[in-house]
Structure 1
């Protein structure tokens, strides 16, 4: 991985940096502009922003930061990674490693928050010292992007089922995206950083380890985080779940297979073979097609029985 070069923020008081915000970006200055202003709009000012320019052009990023230098007031640094870090997770790790506060959150350059996001999330973890992280009520914002500006199309809720963050749900699919999750800084020392091998689903894999480590509280009577999606965008403007759909499928299987091998090594394959067969047979038995077939067989058998009885008379 190329050696990152950085512009370091001036030293600030420890109490002025309760939250480290990691912002990954690459060659989409209009979205980055919106994200930077989103951070500056937070009602909680005790944060430190690390912008990780992961292989993108330097000049547009530096210009945007210089334009906001007064507003940032020393609370920002940028890490330029010439050639790219190799994965989104490796880029996130570069930011986490520079965290100096109590909490860490990944705010990618295309997502946004409600102005009170940091204030409410920090308050929730301050009030619950046993929780390892907090997950915010989230909305998906569908939008179009023409290269210079984004136009909102519609919104829909994106929350964990029952508004509870659980391993049960995470085993099926990720229910907490980076823009929604505030994590205690010490947790990264306890469970490790994001897996840099994963070019997709790294946030899901981290969340699985996080939930095994401790409890994640759900925060917000109204949406505090906004996950922006651009289904029709291409290139650097697209979301990884759409532009990198093949990566998502491959690395989803990679994570599951890796954990399955570890489980089998420790427990053997017998129980899993039984469950796989039982689930497949149960699903087939209760499928609509099989239900219709059983009903038709019963009707046919009943008809044959009535026919035989009629002949005997």
Structure 2
């Protein structure tokens, strides 16, 4: 069998991409490598995505499947894998685009180099900038690829082509992964197979505002799962820092020590090269660095706004110790707030002869807010302000 004889199944998960799905499918159908089938798996779209696929009704290369309900991109890809008939399986995303010779170059390289897995570089297109991943100026051998994968993913889902035997050996996408599903799959592949890299940009990835890739919470959860599943492969110190860096419990001041302890326990059970003490030290260092960065940032913001304040054109949120401290500092600058705002009143009607009112009674959304409450209360108060469309707030630095 020559390389042109191999059927390639291209799987495209689809969810609410009415504006981009035709571009994605067309970029596959226009490939110079012609022996293909395209499997579009709709994951419960609520827009006109399915209607956009009517264009391919008479094209026997395109097969369309519909999930009963939204289950996520991983489940949609796995449905496509189960339905695929090809010798090779490739993955595409419904908002991205392939260059015309992508499959030809990757399949040819795999057939002639006796590789079961290949990937190429891709261009990540932002509104004003681009990023090429990975760097195509350097040749990446299979060993170098494995070394890179220990610290970060360089294998984007739409760049990947694998022989179906690989899927039978290492399994399908992990549907528990909220993000980094391509990274997790690439790690499993790298543990058992050599991977070849076609060092050309053959995929364009368009970064959209509603893309799950922008969700930090899901990224944090994904790093935790990677650490649990693959601590025997990963550079633990590096990935641990990524986990800490993305954690909401660390960027805020409410550190979830139980969650950290759970993850640390899972890592140390599977890895004999690091101890709980090592990981806790790394966590403390990361927390400290984030705290001082955040404090410096808020201090600079506060200094900038301080020079623009005008008496009775701002309010102070809080009526306790920090609010009094902030009021005294402002009064020395001849600056008086119009009100002190509180979430609920405890009988105090005024402070320093300035009215104390509840947030629910305050209706001046354009007024500057000086947030002078303890760190534990800040998160909820900020959420309450944002619910009311009030984003013009600044944290009094001594509260941080």
TM-score, reference length from structure 2: 0.56
Shift of 1:62: 4.0
Q: Is the 8 A contact 1:16 1:47 kept in 2?
A: no
Shift of 1:275: 9.3
- CA radius of gyration, larger in: 2
1:224 maps to what in 2? Answer: 202
Shift of 1:139: 1.3
- Select which of 130, 137, 149 maps to 1:155: 130
Question: May I ask how many residue pairs the two structures share in their alignment?
Answer: 245
1:81 maps to what in 2? Answer: 67
SS in 1 for 2:33: coil
Deviations 1:119-154 (A, max 9, x none): 11110111122x2311112211124xxxxxxxxx44
Deviations 1:75-97 (A, max 9, x none): 11111113212x32111101111
1:118 aligns with 2:112: no
2:147 maps to what in 1? Answer: 168
Aligned CA-pair RMSD: 2.8
Question: Residues 275 and 185 of structure 1: is their aligned pair in 2 closer, same or farther, counting only changes over 3 Å?
Answer: farther
1:102 maps to what in 2? Answer: 87
Runs of 4+ with deviation above 6 angstroms: none
Q: Is the 8 A contact 1:132 1:214 kept in 2?
A: yes
Separation in 1 of the partners of 2:190 and 2:176?
21
SS in 2 for 1:248: helix
2:126 maps to what in 1? Answer: 142
Deviations 1:53-82 (A, max 9, x none): 011148x34433332334x3x111111113
Separation in 2 of the partners of 1:196 and 1:184?
21
Separation in 2 of the partners of 1:16 and 1:65?
27
Question: Residues 84 and 272 of structure 1: is their aligned pair in 2 closer, same or farther, counting only changes over 3 Å?
Answer: same
SS in 1 for 2:190: helix
Separation in 2 of the partners of 1:275 and 1:204?
28
Separation in 2 of the partners of 1:274 and 1:84?
39
1:65 maps to what in 2? Answer: 53
Separation in 2 of the partners of 1:106 and 1:169?
21
Separation in 1 of the partners of 2:35 and 2:77?
20
Q: Which has the higher contact order (CA 8 A, sep 6+)?
A: 1
Which ranges in structure 1 are unaligned for 5 or more consecutive residues?
Answer: 1-14, 144-152, 288-313
Separation in 2 of the partners of 1:247 and 1:263?
19
TM-score, reference length from structure 1: 0.70
1:56 maps to what in 2? Answer: 45
Matches within 5 A, 1:171-190: 171-190=150-169
- Select which of 21, 29, 46 maps to 2:18: 29
Which ranges in structure 2 are unaligned for 5 or more consecutive residues?
Answer: 232-264, 290-400
1:241 maps to what in 2? Answer: 213
Question: Residues 82 and 127 of structure 1: is their aligned pair in 2 closer, same or farther, counting only changes over 3 Å?
Answer: same
SS in 2 for 1:135: strand
Separation in 1 of the partners of 2:202 and 2:166?
23
2:186 maps to what in 1? Answer: 207
Q: Is the 8 A contact 1:179 1:226 kept in 2?
A: no
